A and B are shown apart, each in its own frame.
Chain A
Amino acid sequence: MTSRLRSAVLALASAGAVLCGLPLLAPLVSGGDWWAASAAVLAGMALVGAGLRLLPRGAALLVPPAQLLTALVLATAVFAPQTAAAGLLPTPASLDELGRLLSEGRREIAANPPPVADGAAIALVIAAGAAAAGLVGDVLSVTARTPALTGVPLFAMLLIPLAVDDQGVGTGAFALAACGYLALLAVDGWVRGSGWAPHAGAAASRALGALRHGLLSAGVAAAALALALLVPVALPNLASGSVYQMAGPPGLDRTVTTSHPLVSLRHDLGSRSDAVVLEYTTDASSPAYLRTFVLDAFDGTDWTMSPVRLDDGDVLDGEALPPVPGLIGGDHERVGYDITLMRDLQETAFLPLPYPTRELDLDGEWYADPDSLMVFGTSVQDPTPEYRVTGLDLRPDPARLTGSGAGSPDERFLVVPSGVDDRVARLARSITEDADDRLARAVALQDWFTGEGGFRYDLSPPALPEGADPLAHFLFDSRVGYCEQFAASMALMARQLGIPARVAVGYTSGTRTADGRWQVRESDAHAWPELYFPGQGWLRFEPTPGDGQGTASVPEYASGAPSAPSEPEAEESPSAAPEESEAAEEEDGAASPDREDTAAPGREAPDSGGAAPGDGGGPWVAVALAAAAAAVLVLLPALLRAVRRRARAVRAGAAAPAAAAEAAWAEVRDLCLDLGLGWSEAESPRAAALRVAAAAALDEGSAEALDRLARAEETARYAPEPAVGPSLPADLRALSVALRRSVPPAARARAALLPRSLLRLPARPAASPGSPRLSPEGG
């Protein structure tokens, strides 16, 4: 087999591997024929790549542009034939059409949680991605002769569904992709093996050798794959947790990027549907809201959930939940709820629960977040569970909430990013300038939204003008919105006033039916702020105007006039609270682990901006880290090679003669391999030196240096006493420079970035060991 034919076969195998990876993307698209276009583009590119490689040398450089052109022509023929010349040749109009389809596809992907519906735009986006993967795979497999690295684009195809979708990829798709990759490696091994027997005759032994070579490389890769699959199973902690790095908040814009349960709920927040979400029975006359989850981080536009810390300790092993954060003294009425979910939970699900939940009776593996008391499961078996909950009916005495003293469970509940419009903080201060304690301020804010602010509730707020800050637009211009906007705005303004705040999302209490049951419908989906009060913990407020959300209710402590601060009990409370706190902690050491006992009153100006460095910088740090990691990954082979080169240079200069010669000669070998000058295990040092000097057209000085290196190695290997000159390191340096100069810059760059010597497979002796040994002669 000629080397050209080998390259062509390898090109086809590489395209085949990418093709086998296509089903990995299936979870992203619902149904349809999206894969046909991608397959056609990949097949066309493969044929062009293989065909060009059959041509004489040099045509390989044309492969990437030719493949790009092929992909473009095929995409034009499939997606924009009516605007193309002769139905397939790209014209400006067809390019415009493709561009339009691409951006439409991007919008569709942005606007819909996966799986997105199939369509021409989506198919084009995927085909473009597949073409890119095919191109990279071809360059890596054939041009750079590193087929193993084709796993990188394949890995990317595997990561996309894992990153945007909790469902993961199907076993079949993964197996197919893995098989394609292994097949590529096997073909590579076969190609390498068949390169061995130069003579046409040894067909049988050549085929055997190729087969063995192919099986060996594929076997190693298969073992690695099996390990990669088994290790996470053996270490269960690695399997969970990462899933919760999700976003997708009920912010003020419509971007949705995940299939987090939040997304569907958020959809409900604007819903007028009457579909029943859940039913429950309870003894309480005014049941609590059913909270599903809590958004605790504000990034300037959206409220999002911080990654949930998932520790083993958070597994609900009994019924009891962690202690209620910030709540001191435990004389609260317990209220039971029997909840029946009517709508299917996803595999990863948060439970709607009254806050604060104390006990939960439900089978399965559930976790509770100690900060928020959110309860969620990662492998939900029963999609419509029934469960019994015991909550606390918090009826805080308004007199005890007046303390303006701080005390926060965590700094993060006060963070306000730096990008927020200055007017918002001024507005918050002006609204609350008459209020002199925390509760009064909170109530003033709430009342401003529901009353004097003049807000109007509308599930379909007017479109946001281009480029406007959604928050500022809502607060200062339109003043039209629904629960999301009200909750988000009040929570932010509370933070600016120094009150720890967060946004809760879930359902209102719903409506009571004639038979005494409570029904919660989709239209009862709601968002509301929770504010923190020392000694009481988190309390909900209701800034959404009452005429809007039909079943919303203002809690007792937040309704009516603020209590008079001059009442005696109220005066006592600030000092009484810490005493009680200590007493409570003596009784129950585990109480409120997050509370700051040392927090000083008024420790922070409310409008200080709260530009917490860890929050606003998050994405950039991540991007920078990812870029650095990518750079390290790209440069890793070069680094490994440099380390090896350095070690050999040291040995060549300092080690014992034989070891020095060996190190220097090994470096010469790797240098030749890297630069594509070739190396044969059957070549003796001096034969290799003669060949390399001729192949690289070395000048006399460099050729002599090479000769000295070869002779040193020869004596080290075969002479009774190695004869190694002192010029070894200098010779090695001079030779490196000369050899590098002898190849074109592209080959030099490839040698630096993708040194082939790192992947060198040791050749095996052709003869079987164990043959009768020659008895040594005298001498």
Chain B
Amino acid sequence: MSANKTGRRLSKQSLNGFINYGIVILAYLVVQLMISQGLMSNSLQSLLVPVCCYVVMAVSLNLVVGVSGELSLGHAGFMSLGAFSGIIVSVTLQSVIELAPLRLFLSMVVGAVIGGIGGVIVGVPVLRLRGDYLAIVTLAFGEIIKNIIMVLYVGVDEDGLHFATSEAALNLSEAGTAIVKGPMGAVGVVKASTFTAGILLVLLTLLIVQNMVNSRAGRAILALRDNRIAAESVGISVTKYKLMAFVTSAALAGAAGALFGLNYSSTLASRFDFNTSILILVFVVLGGLGNIRGSIIAAALLYILPEMLRNFDVSKYRMLIYAIILILVMLATNNPTIRGFFLQLRQRARERKGGQAQ
């Protein structure tokens, strides 16, 4: 490959990256403008923060599934870790730090750290496995995380944090509060999440993921995905690079979880189950494996549109339609005839463009 060609490819990649930042910033400005003009309904406004969360979830999962090529079925588990640790931090610091954005920031940092630690704990053993075995183990870890949080009680009083498996066993003093109450989840959370914080997290996620993909590590990860044995034989460490992608992804999911948890006054562990992991996986697959922009758009659209069209009275058939479309999309995108057709269209367009340039 000539140096010239490599340079062109890289610049195209970074251009792509800049377009992604542009899209996010533009979306932010448009939304702010609409809010200031009173053009945005309450229901749309309430979706802004969760959309940011799911975008971050989708982009970070794409790093594992699309870029690193490992199927993970437990991504919601890391979101859960982030959500609950973020909530605990926020409630604990409630009286110490008055400034909500700072509290949110600290919560997200802790959420990311806990998510990342979870990523290491899951990743080290899991990444020794391959393919479908890896998928089932991530599923298992996701379920274990959910199970444990569902029996965990956490409270805080002047002595610090208490952990137990029942409310009575927390032994809180009079002034103490129970933050997480097992199956009842976390209740009485003071909301701190804002759309601005969400957008900043999305931008940060893009910055991390895109730089990682375009870096030396990213190329190593791609090489491992495309041909593990060949990559290993030129001295690329499988564990190191796969773990790097996995832990980064888990940490970002943790931060998104903290943002999500602090956007509602109550959060249940059962929300972060296998179905949520699958939902995020669907965002990634429909947006295109390895395609960051696709993940952003798919997550945003698929999350907003159902809410926007609540007035259509087909609720009964909703999931059925979803299922059929899911199957049809998979069949269509993998159908050689249809793919050939679009490829041809594209080629023709390129030819025309080339002709004009000349």
**A and B are partners in one complex rather than unrelated chains:** no
Q: Which residues of A contact B (CB under 8 A)?
A: none
